[in-house]
Chains A and B, each alone.
Chain A
Amino acid sequence: MTGELGQLALCFALALSLVMAASGLLGTRPASLAARRIASGSAMGLLVFVALAFGVLTYAFVTSDFSIIDVANNSHTLKPLIYKISGVWANHEGSMLLWVLVLSIYAALVAGLQRGGERLTSGALGVQGLLAAAFLLFIIFTSNPFLRLDPAPFEGAGLNPLLQDPGLAMHPPMLYAGYVGLSASFAYAAAALLVGEDGWTRAARPFMLVAWIALTCGIALGSWWAYYELGWGGFWFWDPVENASLMPWLIATALLHSALATEKSGAFRTWTLLLAIAGFSMSLIGTFLVRSGVLSSVHAFASDPTRGFFIMVLIALAIGGALALFAWRAPTLQGGAAFEIQSRESMLLLNNVFLVAACACVFVGTLYPLVLDAINGTKISVGPPYFALTFAPIFFALLLLVPLGPQLNWKRGDLKAAWRSLYPALGLAGIAALTVLALVSPRSVSATGAFAVAGWLIGASILDIRKRKGARASAFAAALAHAGLGISLMGVAGTTLWRSEALSVLAPGQTMTVGPYTLRFDGVTREKGPNYIADRGHIALMDGDKVSTTLLPEHRFYPAEGQDMNDTAIRTTGWRDLYLALGDDRGGGRFTLRAYVSPLAPLIWLGGLVMALGGFLSLWGRLRVKEAEPKPAAPAAALAAE
């Protein structure tokens, strides 16, 4: 019965999304008050029905209702509860439903907050309705999560053990909040093109911020997961799936900066519209890359070609439609305001040029193998060296310029004065560089340069914070986000340049050394988890002749899924990670053991957190300012309450 309820809820949701699309678009006409009310109302209804469908699916997973194919294929009675719940979105059908759920949450927020005036809101709802309808059609016709299986099996097939991890349970909802959050900016931009109304950037700002924060956290979580789960000691592999989340982040970052200029000084009006379209396009392309099965990875659930085709058509319609609208309407809009060469706008322009260029490098490197394979069947892969050669220098140049922006005034700034006021930051950069040169051998240009730039970024952020002492918390948002970049940069440089690594085959009682640590292998025991069997290595960390602590890396086998994975043991001092992965059984009690010492590794994710915190401060400030603002929003608020 539950499955049918979910099915019904999906059909109602589809009908409502169509109503929302039509009434929302009609509501962009000045006189169509009724249409605007219907659009807002159906946005709320859409959320209710999609949430109902999602709730039904979650219930089916929690109660292990194997009469539903999706549950039978992706769950198992022995799974811990949290992975039964995360199993809802750890498969193609459920993850698409989550996508639509997040979309309807954003639509309900757009309807409820009524930012930026009635007509703009209505247009945005119309566009969101179109998107919701397209994705609901996709779900109902190609990826229905409520299909029945008769007879129902006694046991489910389980969930890929790699995905059975607390970090990864949260990773998809986080990333989707970011991907789909860009749909709100996209919808506002399209509405602004339709209505010809200025001030959409102000209305869409909180949505841009939420999307950016969610993407930042989602990427950090994903990379943290790859670090401790894959057992290779790395934190970023330039895997196409990782790139699929990085590209929207790069464009969202550019959008945040460009939209700020549009809002504060009227510059880059058309460019910001284009970025909003590009940002969501990257999200759609990311969804396509990850979910369509063109890439083989833990993320690719679908191998059904009709799905890939459907998503491709959807992307083509969304991007093509938006670009056509842009080409048609943009020339009628007011152009961007002028600014001097020495101004904050110029720095934001450079920021955008570098971010878009960096995104282009990632885009080409990610899609080139797919295109080549489609054209003539040549199978190639583009490895990390490509990204190190193209992406890294562009991003590094961007980081060099970051401190200058906040020091310059809008419209007309004084570059010399800005430079002078940054002398202390330059001093910190010099100290960081000299410290690295003095303490670390062998000397390396990359390490010195990276730490100098990190010092430059963090120093400039400290100066910025001092300058704004006593201001509202949101004034520190940019400084925090930029400092986060510096912190992450130190982590990235430390791990990639100074990592020590050792690999040995050890019999019980034998020792190995890695970096400053001596490790003794005390054998392997067989352990039984709730739904796996593990070889647990007992590795003693030696302090002279004494054992200071024991680390327990595991190698787990999941019989239900027929898969295996590593559970690494990481001991961190905050400044340095000791990282152990148990390798394969070499017979006679001998095992391979891989050990890494990664200096500063935790800073990578700490930096990400600080960046996200900066985003939060800005968002908080935005939502408070909104309350204080005298806005003609009273009828809108009454409308939302209906």
Chain B
Amino acid sequence: MNAKKKRRLAFAAALLAAGAVLAGVIVYGLGQNTMYFRSPTDIADKQVSEGVAFRLGGLVEKGSVHHGMGADVHFRVTDGKSTIAADYNGVLPALFREGQGVVATGAMDGSGTFVASEVLAKHDEKYMPPEVVAALKKSGRWQEGTQ
């Protein structure tokens, strides 16, 4: 084996090792940081451990929104079959309305309440997040053409 070949081999090996490290980091990163989308029914059916971040989507239940003294808001998210209480401390998007679709990022606390860290803005009053549509279809509460 001449020197040139040897160097080539060493280079290929180094690149392969770097690729393996990269793949490892990516897989680890994805494993740690993917957030699942869940509907209220998903939460009722499956045990969702507290503190694990996920995205909750559904409709804001009519008559459920209460403002606290500060910036805190309490409301319930429903997909027509199950309902989850949610707490949020922050600015709500202006199109956050009772009876409308909502997607929130957060985690369950010990008492079965969803603590939202972010309530996603939707910029269009006709727009329904696709995940919410899918969740409503699954629970059989989606009516074509009413949205």
Query: Which residues in B have their C-beta under 8 angstroms from that of A382?
Result: 30, 33-35
Query: Which residues in B have their C-beta under 8 angstroms from that of A160?
Result: 123-124
Q: Judging by beta carbons under 8 Å apart, are B125 and A562 in contact?
A: yes
B92 within 8 A of A: yes
CA distance A607 to B92 in the complex (A): 33
A533 → chain B, closest Cβ, in Å?
12
CA distance A504 to B71 in the complex (A): 6
Query: Which residues in A have their C-beta under 8 angstroms from that of B94?
Result: 555, 557, 564, 584
Task: State whether A583 and B91 are in contact (beta carbons under 8 Å apart), knowing that A361-B26, A382-B34 are contacts in the complex.
Answer: yes
CA distance A360 to B24 in the complex (A): 12
CA distance A126 to B93 in the complex (A): 50
Mostly, the A contact residues are mixed
CA distance A381 to B30 in the complex (A): 10
CA distance A382 to B33 in the complex (A): 6
Q: Judging by beta carbons under 8 Å apart, are B67 and A586 in contact?
A: yes
Task: State whether A503 and B35 are in contact (beta carbons under 8 Å apart), knowing that A160-B123, A353-B18 are contacts in the complex.
Answer: no
Query: Which residues in A have their C-beta under 8 angstroms from that of B131?
Result: 379
By size class, the interface of chain B is 35 or more
Task: State whether A386 and B30 are in contact (beta carbons under 8 Å apart), knowing that A378-B36, A584-B92 are contacts in the complex.
Answer: yes
CA distance A584 to B36 in the complex (A): 28
CA distance A228 to B69 in the complex (A): 28
A475-521 interface with B by 8 A CB criterion: 503-505
Residue of B with least CB distance to A379: B37
Residue from A504, A565, A587 in contact with B123 in the complex, judged by beta carbons closer than 8 Å:
A565
B20 → chain A, closest Cβ, in Å?
12
Q: Judging by beta carbons under 8 Å apart, are A503 and B30 in contact?
A: no
Residue from A338, A379, A557, A583 in contact with B92 in the complex, judged by beta carbons closer than 8 Å:
A583
Q: Judging by beta carbons under 8 Å apart, are B35 and A505 in contact?
A: no
Task: State whether A381 and B32 are in contact (beta carbons under 8 Å apart), knowing that A353-B18, A557-B94, A594-B91 are contacts in the complex.
Answer: no
Residue of A with least CB distance to B39: A379
B70 within 8 A of A: yes
A365 within 8 A of B: yes
Query: Which residues in A have their C-beta under 8 angstroms from that of B92?
Result: 583-584, 592
Q: Judging by beta carbons under 8 Å apart, are B22 and A563 in contact?
A: no
B39 → chain A, closest Cβ, in Å?
10
Query: Which residues in B have their C-beta under 8 angstroms from that of A586?
Result: 67
Task: State whether A162 and B123 are in contact (beta carbons under 8 Å apart), knowing that A379-B37, A380-B37 are contacts in the complex.
Answer: yes
Residue of A with least CB distance to B19: A357
CA distance A381 to B54 in the complex (A): 9
Q: Judging by beta carbons under 8 Å apart, are A389 and B34 in contact?
A: no
A376 → chain B, closest Cβ, in Å?
12
Q: Judging by beta carbons under 8 Å apart, are B32 and A503 in contact?
A: no
A558-600 interface with B by 8 A CB criterion: 561-565, 581, 583-584, 586-587, 592, 594
Q: Judging by beta carbons under 8 Å apart, are A389 and B123 in contact?
A: no
Q: Judging by beta carbons under 8 Å apart, are B55 and A381 in contact?
A: yes
Residue from B15, B30, B90, B91 in contact with A364 in the complex, judged by beta carbons closer than 8 Å:
B30
B75 → chain A, closest Cβ, in Å?
13
CB-based closest 5 A-B pairs: A583-B91, A386-B33, A379-B37, A564-B94, A390-B29
Using CB atoms and an 8 Å cutoff, list the residues of chain B in contact with chain A.
4, 15, 18, 22, 25-26, 28-30, 32-37, 53, 55, 67, 69-71, 89-96, 105, 121, 123-127, 129-131, 134
Would you give 7 A-B contacts (Cβ < 8 Å), ordered by A?
A383-B33, A394-B22, A503-B71, A503-B89, A561-B124, A586-B67, A592-B71
Using CB atoms and an 8 Å cutoff, list the residues of chain A in contact with chain B.
160-162, 230-231, 296, 298, 338, 353, 357, 360-361, 364-365, 368-369, 377-383, 385-386, 389-390, 394, 503-505, 555, 557, 561-565, 581, 583-584, 586-587, 592, 594
Beyond the given A555-B94, A564-B123, A584-B93, please list 12 additional residue pairs across the A-B interface where CB-CB is below 8 A: A296-B130, A353-B18, A365-B26, A383-B34, A383-B105, A386-B32, A394-B22, A557-B94, A583-B91, A584-B91, A584-B94, A594-B90
